[in-house]
Structure 1
């Protein structure tokens, strides 16, 4: 026999025994009362007095619910409270008659019905009627059977909920006492019907009075069952709508499911990140699964059906919401604005570092990609300097001293060297990366030397612009001219606000960034942090370089957090949040004693956020390569054979430096009055008019790939061209009539104030 069957049998036997005792108690009390001595009679009277008080409280529903749970057969006492009250009342009368009037009184009470017309007979008849009412009320129990309740047949395909048992009655009773009680309940008249009950959860249907909505809350239910075995936190109680506002379905999870357990990714996300007002409100997780690579969990973040796109989270806020650390959380947006990947780690797999696998890792793929490290997901991190179809690609690397910036530059330079590219290296700080110097065809050290290398790279671009124009060559052809990689370390030394070459350097960097792609010249800039003020104040430099190739953001100084200008695609991260060293718990002891173990710090060298043309934006770490010199082949130092002036490059740099005049008016090529081609005019240039200035602004902000049309608002054009409003409007109208610019059109309507270069695209071009 099962435990439930044993309990049911024991409850039925106990109930029948109580029923027999209750029915016989008045008669037994009447027979025994006359023969009791004085002390026994007094004890019997006091006992009956206490029993009367208890049965009266029971029948009036004054006893606390917990008392019924603690009393043996408390549910039976509760169910038969009226018969118990009548039995106690008639027994008290019998004891009173027997103890106060003796045997004569008992005879009159129990046998007086034989003389029904006398006063004694009327009292006797009333007493016997009350005595007989008790077994009548308990007749089904005395007979050992109960009338089964009728349950209508469930429709096909549905599951009939199991019949409620004593625990279900316990839940329903406490609900009535505290929540739905008509006089004292917190939500009067909002009753519960228990549907299912297991060791993991119970469910029910809440119904309110007609015309009223259900207002019961999770906090109310959690508080109502406080101190019982059904007490749970409010977070483990959920509601769903019923057939109407006066009905709601409730589920109480006695054991927290994964989505409610904050120790899991799903639980932490739902409880903290995706809560109303949370950093990721309006989202949910899908396909949550263990991540063997990190010992944690990974899942898709998906926008809810009523959310158009995922919010852009501040990673610092998301780290706090999930109660973790920056090095243990990875959030990776995708091209789909409604999905992303979240990775909550137990251990960052990048902590132990990534050993450089050898020069074969830097061999470019057919698409020009080479590996430089790995992401936390285990996916290789790849960069690209040359696209076989689109030409050269640029890169921007940021990081403070000790963050691994020099190591990244070394890997990029080695990849370019092994691929047969020409390397021009500019290091304003002076020989901070000797391995790159051994690979470079030209190296400029110190501030002036770096400036000379920059001007040399710009002159090479301008030479190729002229050469490809003569050859009618539209795109870069690596067979006709070698790929060139220009590397500028500590870019702020030349481009910063106090740099002596700032204006000229900014023009040269912008020229290479804008024109170098189709000329086969890649520009790799490295700096302490990404800030427009340290890039000549020109957002076009940042956008052209990052948009053309990508950005690698290593650790930044926490004091510079507010200075960083995050590029599109990395708005949610901040390299200042990357710690300088790995820590186990992120907390230091508040009090140090001799027995406190101080762990030696491990550097996060090479750890950062990577976003390249590989369509991956993730936390990653570069290969550990202390010195690349052993992989350099001095016999394979490539030079730009397409440029005749290269043989006289040192004199050429001297001429370029001599012509470096901060007051010169530089054009798009950045040459001022200095020309490198014999056919170019060396005379003074005509000052730019309003039309020239507007066309230059649109050209500077044009798509470097030449695929899309970048439209610019009139206010931005006015600011950059430095024109009066009236002059600007007149000139814009003239340029539109001349077909040199056009207004943006969306859905057949002109977008107010937005202009693009060239004539308006035809319908066929738009369709393509």
Structure 2
């Protein structure tokens, strides 16, 4: 009966040690020591064999190397003997479950002419794939599939080897890429094997990348990479945002931080769709900004990785910068190029200017209005404020008259209209010297008065239309603020917005989603393609910072910083220019505290101001919303009637006193010269009812005569108001 497995494991080391005597005394002693040690710790058979092989190989190579050195032969042969010893030690390490070591990049001379790396690669291939020996407990992948024609490629960033898996004739290679990857502990993607269809069944090439360099992004031929190439490929094409243009860089700090000049040969660039340009460059809207130049064929372009206005522009003590300059401009904020963003509040020698302000909740609209009030106060401009949403304007104390609340706001609007009528009656010629102060009629949340759902829709629409048309030359500007640029917020009146944009500047801030598009019916010249709802409510990365904030240590008294939100970020449009990104000034204190003199700038002492209380309570249109009162005298008459509660009859003069209405109509041609004389004398628009009252006749006789005069181009009709041509 033969020895058991346990007995073989125990006595095999001693037997192998005796067998090693034929190799040499030192090898025998090394093998015996290895066997005795393994016997003592009850090691497994693979470990025993590895230890014995290491002992024999190492000691044998050591004896041979000593003899070579003692005989005076070339030391390189002795150095080559160290390679088999190292290979044996590495094989033992692999048998005991160690990880694949990084192959050394150096080569050493070996008796067979192979480098140390090649010998290790060959040893592992034979150990796990081809044999001939097989470790107990491990199955070879394909016995006999040797690795022939082995070649090693070693570089600074890569290590790989190639070879041909070879079998005897008539056999087929069954070694897979996954098998090779498992042996050399590399990803399967780093093993490349030939296609069996193109090679003999018993010979298949293989390439193994032991160390692969970092992948470099591949750029296909013809794919644009530089800003100039991207511009030519997507922006300058016929369907791009700026067709036919060429980009010249003036500053480049990376693909997302550069400036340049777009040029079109011998042809003006015109207005640019900013949203379309951002889409062409694969950026967000606020990352792209345009700046007009002195030449119509050129336009400045700026691309920003981090917005330059993220940290805002604080202004809390230098109030002089908010005052109006000699050209009538005030500073409203800062452009992206760090230049002051200016808007006109007056036109010296010609009158006042309008301002159109759009912005949703928490966009900075109220802050801009408060800044306008402070600038007006500092510039000695009187303000009449209509604020339908009570208690929203902190600078209301700086105004000469404040209508706080829906009804009171409508009263303030009536008073501003009466002031315009008063100045028209006192100053017949538009080119009068401004002995009276400039006046701003500020209408906050104008949609609450102008929208069709407002109880004051018809009256407010008629007043604002007439003021935006007629008030500038009388030194009264209109500052109108709404939450969206939609036509509904302006009472579906195209006149109001067009007159606001013609007569001054426009500020566009963030709006609610779906309500900020400046295209279609809401298009604004110079701001084509801008969608205000795409302005983010916070800067990139800020939401994450807020989410990670530890609320336990948060200072509840700390003032919010400009970079906490995009408060006041938007576009500024002035007449004849392109909308440019800007941000309103950051005021860390209430604007009213910067006024210095809290006493508001008063308006002039005139008849309209003396009857201000009665005027604010007097509607200036009839119940149908038509027939707007066109003169101060008629407005005061109606105000007195409303105050006394008893209609007052106007005294009739002229031929109608004796003949009555019928006498006035004798010879209908006589009424036309009287109409023309009246309209030329008043130099203001009047309704047909007003003309009839002044002439002492009825409306049904006046209207046909007006139509006849209009056909002759002697009179014109603007929104039911008749004027001399």
TM-score, scaled to structure 2: 0.54
Q: What does residue 243 of structure 2 align with?
A: 281
Cα distance, 1:568 vs structure 2: 1.6
Residues 442-485 of structure 1 show CA distances to partners (whole Å, capped at 9, x for unaligned) of 1111110100000010001000000102xxx432533x111111
Distance (Å, rounded) in 1 between the aligned partners of 2:330 and 2:264 = 34
Task: Report the more deviating stretch, 730-739 or 366-375.
Answer: 730-739
Structure 1 residue 361 corresponds to structure 2 residue 348:
no
Q: What does residue 235 of structure 1 align with?
A: 222
Q: What does residue 663 of structure 1 align with?
A: 624
Q: What does residue 151 of structure 1 align with?
A: none
Cα distance, 1:605 vs structure 2: 0.4
Q: What does residue 490 of structure 1 align with?
A: 445
Cα distance, 1:277 vs structure 2: 3.6
| Counterparts of residues 228-377 of structure 1 (less than 5 Å) | 233-235=220-222, 260-262=224-226, 265-275=227-237, 277-286=239-248, 288-290=249-251, 296-304=257-265, 308-310=267-269, 312-333=271-292, 337-356=296-315, 358-377=318-337
Question: Between Structure 1 and Structure 2, how many residues are aligned?
Answer: 435
- The match for 1:577 among 530, 534, 542 is 534
SS of 2:427's partner is helix
The structure-2 alpha-carbon separation of the partners of 1:331 and 1:367, relative to structure 1 and needing over 3 Å to count, comes to: same
Residues 505-550 of structure 1 show CA distances to partners (whole Å, capped at 9, x for unaligned) of 0111112211110111111000001222221221111111111001
Cα distance, 1:617 vs structure 2: 3.2
Structure 1 residue 623 corresponds to structure 2 residue 593:
no
CA contact (8 A) 2:485 2:516 kept: no
Q: What does residue 3 of structure 2 align with?
A: none
Q: What does residue 393 of structure 2 align with?
A: 433
Task: Report the more deviating stretch, 328-337 or 622-631.
Answer: 328-337
Distance (Å, rounded) in 2 between the aligned partners of 1:374 and 1:292 = 23
Unaligned runs of 5+ in 1: 1-230, 237-259, 593-599, 687-691, 705-726, 743-756, 760-768
Task: Report the more deviating stretch, 606-615 or 577-586.
Answer: 577-586
Distance (Å, rounded) in 2 between the aligned partners of 1:632 and 1:758 = 45
Structure 1 residue 641 corresponds to structure 2 residue 604:
yes
CA contact (8 A) 1:294 1:349 kept: no
Cα distance, 1:668 vs structure 2: 7.0
CA contact (8 A) 2:517 2:531 kept: no
CA contact (8 A) 2:237 2:243 kept: yes
The structure-2 alpha-carbon separation of the partners of 1:622 and 1:562, relative to structure 1 and needing over 3 Å to count, comes to: closer
Cα distance, 1:331 vs structure 2: 2.3
Cα distance, 1:612 vs structure 2: 2.2
Residues 352-395 of structure 1 show CA distances to partners (whole Å, capped at 9, x for unaligned) of 11101521111221111111211001111011111112210000
Distance (Å, rounded) in 2 between the aligned partners of 1:526 and 1:675 = 29
Distance (Å, rounded) in 2 between the aligned partners of 1:635 and 1:603 = 31
Q: What does residue 504 of structure 2 align with?
A: 549
Residues 284-304 of structure 1 show CA distances to partners (whole Å, capped at 9, x for unaligned) of 123x21178998222222224
Residues 542-591 of structure 1 show CA distances to partners (whole Å, capped at 9, x for unaligned) of 11111100100000112214587132211232212211111149999xxx
Structure 1 residue 396 corresponds to structure 2 residue 338:
no
The structure-2 alpha-carbon separation of the partners of 1:646 and 1:559, relative to structure 1 and needing over 3 Å to count, comes to: same
Cα distance, 1:740 vs structure 2: 5.4
Distance (Å, rounded) in 2 between the aligned partners of 1:500 and 1:397 = 23
Cα distance, 1:647 vs structure 2: 4.0
Distance (Å, rounded) in 2 between the aligned partners of 1:271 and 1:676 = 69
Q: What does residue 491 of structure 2 align with?
A: 536
The structure-2 alpha-carbon separation of the partners of 1:276 and 1:613, relative to structure 1 and needing over 3 Å to count, comes to: closer
Distance (Å, rounded) in 1 between the aligned partners of 2:388 and 2:219 = 65
Cα distance, 1:232 vs structure 2: 7.6
Residues 678-701 of structure 1 show CA distances to partners (whole Å, capped at 9, x for unaligned) of 999976999xxxxx9xx9xxx9xx
Distance (Å, rounded) in 2 between the aligned partners of 1:445 and 1:355 = 29
Distance (Å, rounded) in 2 between the aligned partners of 1:664 and 1:615 = 36
The structure-2 alpha-carbon separation of the partners of 1:294 and 1:614, relative to structure 1 and needing over 3 Å to count, comes to: farther
CA contact (8 A) 1:363 1:370 kept: yes
The structure-2 alpha-carbon separation of the partners of 1:349 and 1:409, relative to structure 1 and needing over 3 Å to count, comes to: same
Distance (Å, rounded) in 2 between the aligned partners of 1:318 and 1:734 = 52
Distance (Å, rounded) in 2 between the aligned partners of 1:758 and 1:333 = 41
